[in-house]
Structure 1
């Protein structure tokens, strides 16, 4: 329960902070540590820290929104493919081949290709992430679906004249909910990190929008000048959120596994 509270608290703090930020906080250009204000007084780390912190909060909030959409779409793809195996051996074989083929492709290279084909931007990131993060969850759901489909009560339901779609919706889908929930929470932090990676190389969120990847890309010149905090601070935001949700996913997996609860 502790991990769930930490993850939800981080999510709430970031979203609330982004909603309360004034537009002026994001329009200002951050200064290098040790810079002076217009009046000559050293503003230094305090001004830069305040401005960078505002941009980080807004960027992480934007990454959370993109991650939720992309992870949700990817989870729906995995669930649909996992349930599709109930429609016969041909569908089962096709899903298996498609899943293994997707797992064998270089992940980030495929992300770059799809984002580039979509013309980059926020929509391109969401589509690219959604189309590349479903294979592992789909393989798990396919295995679970095949196991449940072989049970006696499913066979009895089919013998009573129920269609495959009815069986998949009423008998199989409810049993897959714990795996789907845990899979979504595991996919979600990956989408945040990959969104930052695509934005870093210029294929992600539009440059005028707050983005961790854009901030890291812009900070390279500052790092070479010795101002490492300008890059280190933005990098901590998505890392902490991703780590919290990975622990959240592990906690959900343990709750859904009877053997884990008994150990």
Structure 2
């Protein structure tokens, strides 16, 4: 026998449904959650690479060319090395090199963008010419040339990536600085006798910090992809390192023998990391956009 009136049942059902709907997240909350998960993934890879023993990447001819299994999720290579361990350590190397190279590149873009917008027409013309020059040369060609001149290795890769990824961000920062310097509070400070350095450090630089961090996150995926590309071509990191580019380059000679896992899992892992940074960059840009941050 139903002791609760039908109207009350309807109210109770609606309250339950409304309570369930209240668990839905708005766009800002979803953005924060996704950014946190992607960041945790990247930090976890770096920590896991440090905690993993080097025994997994040691030569073991008794476990050559094993297909993926529970004991070896990514299989083993022709030297019996565990591909899961090599992939995690390779991803950690790519993340560290990409983060350092993209940080240097963003600093270059920040300095040149501010100089172009605040130090007169001649400096602006020179920096604009440099931007056009670097943007007219394909990234991969410039990277290979710089890496070869510097003798390859991590130093050549970092410097090459840093010197080829700043032009686009420089244009963005230059446009932002030119917009900020015409603001009323900047004009008031100028009339009060404040120096260019004081105005740049107190008014312009804080306004550029969001662009700085968003640019860092968005440049990073390009940095690690180009690092893997020139390492794959033989102009980057040492073949003795378990870098993703080295792994993919070595695996090309064994794909015809049916050992597909040598390239599939490292390549897929690199793609996931790049996509994770793309998501972080897009979400961070959305959070810092004043027109969309309230959604």
**Contact 1:195–1:204 (CA<8 Å) still a contact in 2?**
yes
User: How many angstroms apart in 2 are the aligned matches of 1:169 and 1:252?
Assistant: 24
* Corresponding residue number in structure 2 for 1:189: 221
Give 1 or 2: higher helix fraction: 1
User: How many angstroms apart in 1 are the aligned matches of 2:252 and 2:75?
Assistant: 20
Within 5 Å, give how 1:78-157 maps onto structure 2. 78-84=109-115, 85-157=117-189
User: How many angstroms apart in 1 are the aligned matches of 2:184 and 2:201?
Assistant: 17
User: How many angstroms apart in 2 are the aligned matches of 1:77 and 1:116?
Assistant: 22
1:246 has 2:278 as partner: yes
**Contact 1:219–1:230 (CA<8 Å) still a contact in 2?**
yes
Measure how far apart 1:225 and its partner are.
1.3
* Corresponding residue number in structure 2 for 1:38: none
* Corresponding residue number in structure 1 for 2:76: 48
Partner residue of 1:163 out of 166, 176, 195: 195
User: How many angstroms apart in 2 are the aligned matches of 1:217 and 1:16?
Assistant: 25
CA offset digits 1:9-46 (Å, max 9, x no partner)? 211221121011112112235721359xxxxxxx9877
Q: Helix, strand or coil: the match of 2:277?
A: helix
Distance 1:256 1:202, change over 3 A: same
User: How many angstroms apart in 2 are the aligned matches of 1:54 and 1:93?
Assistant: 50
User: How many angstroms apart in 2 are the aligned matches of 1:246 and 1:204?
Assistant: 24
**Contact 2:67–2:261 (CA<8 Å) still a contact in 1?**
no
**Contact 1:137–1:183 (CA<8 Å) still a contact in 2?**
yes
1:69 has 2:69 as partner: no
Distance 1:202 1:246, change over 3 A: same
User: How many angstroms apart in 2 are the aligned matches of 1:46 and 1:76?
Assistant: 38
Q: TM-score, normalised by structure 2?
A: 0.82
The runs of 5 or more residues in structure 2 that have no matched partner are: 1-31
Q: Which runs of 4+ in 1 moved over 3 A?
A: 43-47
User: How many angstroms apart in 2 are the aligned matches of 1:46 and 1:139?
Assistant: 43
Partner residue of 1:32 out of 41, 44, 65: 65
Distance 1:227 1:47, change over 3 A: closer
User: How many angstroms apart in 2 are the aligned matches of 1:180 and 1:236?
Assistant: 29
Measure how far apart 1:100 and its partner are.
2.1
* Corresponding residue number in structure 1 for 2:51: 20
**Contact 2:186–2:203 (CA<8 Å) still a contact in 1?**
yes
Measure how far apart 1:184 and its partner are.
0.2
**Contact 1:99–1:135 (CA<8 Å) still a contact in 2?**
yes
User: How many angstroms apart in 2 are the aligned matches of 1:26 and 1:18?
Assistant: 12
1:216 has 2:216 as partner: no
* Corresponding residue number in structure 2 for 1:6: 37
User: How many angstroms apart in 1 are the aligned matches of 2:292 and 2:265?
Assistant: 37
**Contact 1:6–1:244 (CA<8 Å) still a contact in 2?**
no
Partner residue of 2:267 out of 215, 219, 235: 235
Q: Helix, strand or coil: the match of 1:258?
A: coil
Q: What is the aligned residue count?
A: 256
Partner residue of 1:58 out of 89, 99, 114: 89
